[in-house]
Amino acid sequence: FEAVVDGCAAQHRPSWLFPPLRAALSALSAPSSLRGVGGATPCFVTFELWTRPPDGCTEPAQLVAGDLGCVVGRSYTSFSGFHTASGSGSVQLALTGALLQRAGFGWWDLGQEHGYKSGLGAAAVPRSQFLRTFRRLRAERNRLAEVVGPGGDASEASALPPRAASAEAAAAAAAADGKAP
């Protein structure tokens, strides 16, 4: 969690993620808070994309993209994100979308409009529609805790849908970089 918050703060300087707020978010994201992630209790979470070193390599995995946000019911609101490698942010967003879908989310608020978001399929909605949808979905239970497991860590095997999601993520990342998949 802290590594994603650090990445967001570093990429978006000056950052709204000043130290007291970072400490509060960290406290509210403790693994025990995952118990409330299925219902109407807000829970701060991160979605992370890590490298996987080749077999036999002694280098540790590295965090290359992440998203910080809040889950309430079947709604996820993204607050900020970061990436360190070309296309990694788009891959992370595509895989986050697949994970949210698998966990039964009905809404993903990506915040401000940006070209890369619309390139991944995001669309602006009128405020009245946003509020109506959010108010309905915030009271409905999601399955995020079931999908990610008791420690809140979604391994590749447990979190990702079949190969189609990986292919979609690769295509989305390539499109975002302006390259053919």
Could you read off the pLDDT of 86-114 as tens digits, one per residue? 999 989 998 999 999 999 999 999 888 88
Task: Calculate mean pLDDT across residues 167-172.
Answer: 43
User: Which ranges of the chain does DSSP label H, i.e. alpha helix?
Assistant: 2-11, 19-28, 88-102, 115-119, 127-137, 144-148, 156-159, 163-176
The more confidently predicted of residues 168 and 87 is 87
Q: Is 3 exposed, middle or buried (0-12, 13-18, 19+ CB in 10 A)?
A: middle
Query: CA-CA distances (angstroms) from residue 92 to 20, 132, 164?
Result: 27, 28, 15
4/82 Cα distance (integer angstroms): 8
CA dihedral 168, 172, 173, 179 (to 10 degrees): 110
Strongest mean pLDDT among 27-31, 137-141, 154-158, 164-168: 137-141
- Bin 132: left if φ > 0, else alpha if -120 < ψ < 50, else beta: alpha
Chain mean pLDDT for the chain = 79
